[in-house]
Structure 1
Amino acid sequence: MARVRFGIFLSVFVAMVGLMIIAPVMPPLIRELGLSETHSGLIISLGSIAMAIMAPVWGRWSDVKGRKPVILLGFAGMFISYVLFTATMYAGLTKLISGGLLIFLLILTRGLVGLFIPAVPSSSQAYMADITDEKGRSAGMALIGAANGIGLVLGPAIAGAFALIGLIWPLYIGALLPVLAFVVVMLMIPAQKPIVREKAPKVNPFQKGLGLYLFAGLATMLSIITLQVIGGFYFQDQLNLTTTETARMVSFGMMISGVAMIVTQGVQMKKPKWQPKSLILVGSALLIGGFASFLLIINLVGFYVAFFLFGVGAGLMMPGFMAGASLSVAREQQGGVAGLVGSVQGISAVIAPLLSTSLYQLDKHLPFMAVGVIVILMAITLLTAKTSLAANGAIAVNSESRK
């Protein structure tokens, strides 16, 4: 079982690194190619749209074809997509192609990366649901959350380290990692029989219980991505820092947040005392505390405290909404619900950058206030839905036991 969990952890970690390793080098690469910031946003946004669309599809396929084959297909597709994306970048940097053709190929190949990446976390989350019971589900999803968190932190760090050799080098690593993960999955994760034999049952994202946990996932991911997108601007404007000082201090703040997230999920794995609803409610309270600190305490120490509170809150909410969504449906729907969770993450990656930057231009406090309101609304909705959530969870658990 430890080998299987490690294989699942590594799979999600590599997928997250593959997603995040592009972000730090995209702006300088785009400028080296002579393209604009708009082109960069378009390339990244369309990749996120592909993720949002394909995540539910991969999840349902894992119900029918099996978890392991879909994970392996995802890594194979990631490798091919990264090779094509890197080759296009290289051709643009060496002036082999340019103009509209270059932009088109960059959008197409980045879209392919976004198409294949969600195959891995969707199937891995469903696999974790297969091998855990109701009591252990939160701890299992905390392992996946920790893999996401570590990838979130180490992805940009790996990119920064290899960018010292050359801007395109992080993309080479992005192509190599799926190959290594493919081998590990082949050796360490056993194949299981498909959960359903013909057609995967559709999961209604708006059904009682599940819809609320997906809302919690949306609130969590909107908060995380908003902080990533406008945190640097806010830091610099509030403390009147230079660009160099901002980069250094924001990186340290993000590191504090990432470490807090990982440690929180590690504790939840070893001592899974709280169930999904409690994890989300406590996490949302800490998240609100972090936003309040950003808005009310205008000094370096206050901001670092805010990053810490934010990391702990997000570290509780991620396994909370993943486990809650998993427990809200029956066994044969685990792939479908894992795909919906992945889709929520992709949708957040499309919405948050556009919304947060637009609000920031109106007032620098508005992005934090907006996501804070969303988190509060989510928590209130979750609190007032006790009966329906309990009933729905019981239906799913009874359905699993009958199997």
Structure 2
Amino acid sequence: MMKMKGSVFFSVFVAMLGLMLLAPITPSLIRELGLREIHSGILISTGSIMMAVMAPIWGNISDARGRKPVILVGFIGMTISTLLLAMTFYFGLHHYISGGPLLFLMIGARSLVGMFIPAILSSSQAYIGDVTEGKERAGGMAIISAANGLGLVLGPAISGIFTWIGLLWPLYFGIAISAAAFAALLLFMPATKPTSQKGAVKVSPFQPGLRFYLLVAFITMTGIVTIQVVGGFYLQDQLGLPSDQLARVVSFGLMFTGIAMLLSQVVQSKWLKWEPRPMILLGSFILVASMLLFLLTAHLPFYYLAFFVFGLGSGFMMTGFMAGASFSVRNEQQGGVAGLVAAMQGISAIIAPILGTTLYQVNHASPMALIAILTALLGAAMLARYRKRPSQCAVDRMEGQEIHAGSEGAQ
């Protein structure tokens, strides 16, 4: 079991690390290539759209073909697409290509990155769903959240270190670690059998027991992306920071968020071992508290505290919605539900940057206030559901089984 969990942790960590390596250098590359800021937004959006579209598809494929083959395909695609992106930037920086052709190749390569990363993320979550049951599943999902947090912490830091050598070196490192991950998992990751059966019912995002957890996923990931996008602007405007100092401050803030996410997973997997609903309820209260800290303080140490508290709340909620969604469907549909959860991440990455920056232009406090309101409403709804239903896991399994039984009867 430890070998399986270790393989999943490594897979998700490398995928998130590769994604975060690109984020810090994109603005600098856009400026060096003589492109406009909107082109950076287009790159991010196209990658997010591909993640949202492909995540459910990869999840269903992993149900039919097995988790390990899809994860390996994901790393092959991630290696090749990152190589193509690095080559495109290299040709642009050396003026071999420019203008429209350069932008077209950049968008194409970035779309390929967004296409293959969900193969790793959705299949890894489904893998945990295959090999765990009951309270152990929540601990398994905590491993995925911990890997996300570690990637969030180390990605920007490693990217910053490699930029001392050259602007494209973070991408070169991303190519190398993706290829190394493929080789390591090919040799050491235990394989699981395909879980789907002939005539198996596909997962619907609107089915009872699942739709609420997808809503939690969307709100949680929207909050995370919003803080990543507008957090720097907010700190600069509130504290009057110069641009060169701002990058360091934001990096430390996001590092505290990642550390807190890791800590929340340790607490959940080692001591609490709670079911999804109490985890989401606790996480929502903590996340609201973090938004209040952002809004009510005017000193840098308290902003760092807000980043840390935000990471705690996000970590509990992330583990909660992953485990809850997994409990709500049958074993042969773990890939499909994992794909839907990963799609929520892609959708939030499309909506949150536009919504967050638009609200920020209206009022600097409004993005944080919106996150606080949405999360508070979510917590209130969860509290009401939790009081009505004593055993969340049993209820979610029963709701999922009722849906499948009805569908099979109709067939």
Q: Same fold (TM over 0.5)?
A: yes
* Cα shift readout 1:129-188 (whole Å, capped 9, x = no counterpart): 111011211100000000011011111111111111000111111111111111121122
2:117 maps to what in 1? 117
CA distance in 1 between counterparts of 2:131 and 2:354 reads 38
- Are the aligned partners of 2:152 and 2:254 in contact in 1 as well (CA < 8 Å)? no
Q: Which runs of 5+ in 2 are unaligned?
A: 405-411
1:235 maps to what in 2? 235
- Are the aligned partners of 2:29 and 2:167 in contact in 1 as well (CA < 8 Å)? yes
CA distance in 1 between counterparts of 2:403 and 2:140 reads 20
* Cα shift readout 1:240-291 (whole Å, capped 9, x = no counterpart): 1212232222222221121111111122122243110011110110000000
Does residue 358 of the first structure (1) align with residue 358 of the second (2)?
yes
CA distance in 2 between counterparts of 1:156 and 1:323 reads 28
1:345 maps to what in 2? 345
- Are the aligned partners of 1:212 and 1:382 in contact in 2 as well (CA < 8 Å)? no
Deviation, 1:396, is 4.5
1:307 maps to what in 2? 307
- Pairwise mapping of residues 322-333 of structure 1 onto structure 2 (< 5 A)? 322-333=322-333
CA distance in 2 between counterparts of 1:187 and 1:397 reads 36
Aligned amino acid, residue 18 of structure 2: G
CA distance in 1 between counterparts of 2:142 and 2:199 reads 30
CA distance in 2 between counterparts of 1:317 and 1:195 reads 27
Does residue 14 of the first structure (1) align with residue 18 of the second (2)?
no
1:392 maps to what in 2? 396
1:106 maps to what in 2? 106
Partner secondary structure for residue 167 of structure 1: coil
* Cα shift readout 1:89-146 (whole Å, capped 9, x = no counterpart): 1111111111100001100110001000100010010000111011211100000000
- Farther off after superposition, 71-80 or 272-281: 272-281
- Pairwise mapping of residues 2-401 of structure 1 onto structure 2 (< 5 A)? 2-198=2-198, 201-386=201-386, 391-396=395-400
CA distance in 2 between counterparts of 1:207 and 1:285 reads 27
Aligned amino acid, residue 224 of structure 1: I
Partner secondary structure for residue 76 of structure 2: helix
Partner secondary structure for residue 143 of structure 1: helix
CA distance in 1 between counterparts of 2:232 and 2:17 reads 21
CA distance in 2 between counterparts of 1:201 and 1:13 reads 31
CA distance in 2 between counterparts of 1:247 and 1:135 reads 40
CA distance in 2 between counterparts of 1:398 and 1:189 reads 34
CA distance in 2 between counterparts of 1:110 and 1:323 reads 30
- Farther off after superposition, 185-194 or 165-174: 185-194
- Are the aligned partners of 2:58 and 2:118 in contact in 1 as well (CA < 8 Å)? yes
Partner secondary structure for residue 252 of structure 1: helix
- Are the aligned partners of 1:46 and 1:111 in contact in 2 as well (CA < 8 Å)? yes
CA distance in 2 between counterparts of 1:180 and 1:396 reads 38
Aligned amino acid, residue 52 of structure 1: A
Deviation, 1:399, is 11
Aligned amino acid, residue 336 of structure 1: G
Aligned amino acid, residue 391 of structure 1: V
Q: Percent identity?
A: 53
CA distance in 2 between counterparts of 1:224 and 1:131 reads 29
Partner secondary structure for residue 34 of structure 1: coil
Aligned amino acid, residue 290 of structure 2: G
Partner secondary structure for residue 348 of structure 1: helix
CA distance in 2 between counterparts of 1:57 and 1:332 reads 15
CA distance in 1 between counterparts of 2:321 and 2:199 reads 26
- Are the aligned partners of 1:138 and 1:272 in contact in 2 as well (CA < 8 Å)? no
**RMSD, aligned α-carbons:** 1.7
Quickly say closer, same or farther: Cα 1:114–1:199, change in 2 above 3 A: farther
Aligned amino acid, residue 264 of structure 1: S
- Are the aligned partners of 1:64 and 1:200 in contact in 2 as well (CA < 8 Å)? no
CA distance in 2 between counterparts of 1:199 and 1:74 reads 26
Quickly say closer, same or farther: Cα 1:22–1:285, change in 2 above 3 A: same
Aligned amino acid, residue 215 of structure 1: L
* Cα shift readout 1:296-352 (whole Å, capped 9, x = no counterpart): 122122212211211111111111110000001111110000000100001111111
Partner secondary structure for residue 117 of structure 1: helix
Aligned amino acid, residue 271 of structure 1: W
CA distance in 1 between counterparts of 2:65 and 2:357 reads 41
Q: Which runs of 5+ in 1 are unaligned?
A: none
- Are the aligned partners of 2:67 and 2:127 in contact in 1 as well (CA < 8 Å)? yes
- Farther off after superposition, 307-316 or 341-350: 307-316
Q: Which runs of 4+ in 1 moved over 6 A?
A: 397-400
Aligned amino acid, residue 394 of structure 1: M
Partner secondary structure for residue 192 of structure 1: coil
- Are the aligned partners of 2:209 and 2:400 in contact in 1 as well (CA < 8 Å)? no
Deviation, 1:64, is 0.2
- Are the aligned partners of 2:209 and 2:399 in contact in 1 as well (CA < 8 Å)? no
Count of aligned pairs between the two proteins: 400
Aligned amino acid, residue 233 of structure 1: F
- Are the aligned partners of 1:327 and 1:397 in contact in 2 as well (CA < 8 Å)? no
CA distance in 2 between counterparts of 1:193 and 1:341 reads 22
CA distance in 2 between counterparts of 1:179 and 1:303 reads 38
